[in-house]
Amino acid sequence: MSSSLEDAKISSENLANNLAGVKASIGAAEKEALRKKGAVNLVAVSKTHGPETIEDAIQAGQKIFGENRVQEAEAKWPDLKERNSDIRLHLIGPLQRNKAALAVSLFDVIETIDRLKLATALTRHMEEIGRRPNCFIQVNTGEESQKAGILPRETDAFIAKCRTDLNLPIVGLMCIPPVDEEPSLHFALLREIAERNELPELSMGMSADFETAIQFGATYVRVGTAIFGPRSDYWQSKVA
Ligand SMILES: *Cc1c(COP(=O)(O)O)cnc(C)c1O
C-alpha cells in the first residue's frame, strides 16, 4: 500500500531536471540583464515537501533552501543539516516572537523581520545563543493589510533602528508582491529602498516571476513549485 505522501512525491529524476531548468533560466536571465554570472542565488523553497524529496535536491547539488514555518523546519531539518553541513537554510515565512529563539538556532538567514518587537527579541536571542543569522527586512511594497512587512515609507527608519540601536546583521530586503499586480513595480521599489540604504541583497521573485526579479536586481530568488512540483499538505498537517 502506498501512502499519499509517496503518491505525491516527485521522482528524483524529474526533480533534478526541474532544478537544472530553473538554474539555466537564472543563468539566461543574468546574462540578459547584464548581471554577473552567479550573481543570483537560488533558494529552493521546500515547504510541505518531505525529507526524502529534499535529500534528492541536495544530491542534485542544491545547497540553499527556504522554509516558511519554524515548526515544520524543526521537524525536517536538524537531521538533514547534520548529514549535509554546507546547507544554508532561510526562513521565508512569518516569525512569531515565541519562536524567535528557535529560529535563531535553526536558520542561517532570517528573511522576514517585519516589526520592532520581533527585531528586539532577535537581538536578545542572538546574544544569548551566540549565533548571528543574516537578516532581511520584509517590505510590504503593495501596502496590503493582510500581508506582513514594513510599509515602504517607514522602511528607512526601521532599517536604521535595526542596524544602530539593535546591532542586527541586516543584509537586505525581501518582498512578496500582490498576486494581481505587475511585479516589476514592486521589485523596482524594493531595489530603490535597498540602494539608498546601501543594502546589497534583494530577495524577490518566485516560480512565476523570478526572471523579472533578476532583471530588477534580485540577488536571491525563492523558487518552490518550479523545482518540486505541486505542494502536498503532509508536513504541514503533521506539525500543525
Ligand atoms: C512558497 C513561497 C515561495 C515559493 O513559491 P513558488 O510559487 O512555489 O515558487 C516563495 N516565497 C515565499 C515567501 C513563499 O512562501
Strand partners, 67: 91
Nearest-CA residue for atom 13 of ligand 1: 92
Ligand 1 atom closest to 111 (CA): 13
The whole-number pLDDT of residue 236 equals 59
pLDDT in tens, 66-75: 999 999 999 9
Ligand 1 atom closest to 228 (CA): 8
For residue 96 and ligand 1, the question of a CB distance below 6 A is answered with: no
- % of the chain surpassing 90 pLDDT: 92
Least Cα distance to 199 among 173, 169, 165 occurs for 173
**How many C-beta atoms lie closer than 10 Å to residue 153's C-beta?**
9
pLDDT in tens, 187-232: 999 999 999 999 999 999 999 999 999 999 999 999 999 999 999 7
Burial 116-139 (b: 16+ CB within 10 A, else e): eebbbbbbebbeeeeeebbbbbbb
Burial 44-60 (b: 16+ CB within 10 A, else e): bbbbbbbbebbebbbeb
Strand partners, 42: 221
Q: How far apart are CA 43 and CA 159, in angstroms?
A: 23
pLDDT in tens, 67-111: 999 999 999 999 999 999 999 999 999 999 999 999 999 999 999
For residue 45 and ligand 1, the question of a CB distance below 6 A is answered with: yes
pLDDT in tens, 165-186: 999 999 999 999 999 999 999 9
Least Cα distance to 92 among 26, 136, 142 occurs for 136
C-alpha cell at 55: 535529500
Ligand 1 atom closest to 45 (CA): 4
Q: Exposed/middle/buried for 101, CB within 10 Å: 0-12, 13-18, 19+?
A: middle
Q: How far apart are CA 43 and CA 67, in angstroms?
A: 10
Q: How far apart are CA 114 and CA 148, in angstroms?
A: 7
- Model's pTM, two decimal places? 0.95
DSSP 106-134: H-SEEEEE-SHHHHHHHHHHHHHHT---E
- Residue of 45, 53, 95, 207 to test ligand 1 pocket, by largest number of atoms within 8 Å of CB: 45
Residue 121 half-sphere exposure toward CB, CA atoms < 13 A? 16
For residue 92 and ligand 1, the question of a CB distance below 6 A is answered with: yes
Q: How many angstroms separate the alpha carbon of residue 195 from the centre of ligand 1?
A: 24
pLDDT in tens, 7-40: 568 999 999 999 999 999 999 999 999 999 999 9
For residue 142 and ligand 1, the question of a CB distance below 6 A is answered with: no
Q: How many angstroms separate the alpha carbon of residue 164 from the centre of ligand 1?
A: 31
The whole-number pLDDT of residue 134 equals 98
Using DSSP, state whether 186 is helix, strand or coil: helix
For residue 41 and ligand 1, the question of a CB distance below 6 A is answered with: no
Residues 129-135: what's their mean pLDDT?
98
Please answer whether residues 189 and 177 qualify as being in contact, where contact means their C-beta atoms are separated by less than 8 angstroms. no
Ligand 1 atom closest to 210 (CA): 9
Residue that wins the pLDDT comparison between 5 and 50: 50
Q: Which amino acid is at 162?
A: C
C-alpha cell at 81: 543539516
Q: How many angstroms separate the alpha carbon of residue 1 from the centre of ligand 1?
A: 32
Please answer whether residues 210 and 25 qualify as being in contact, where contact means their C-beta atoms are separated by less than 8 angstroms. yes
Nearest-CA residue for atom 11 of ligand 1: 222
Nearest-CA residue for atom 4 of ligand 1: 224
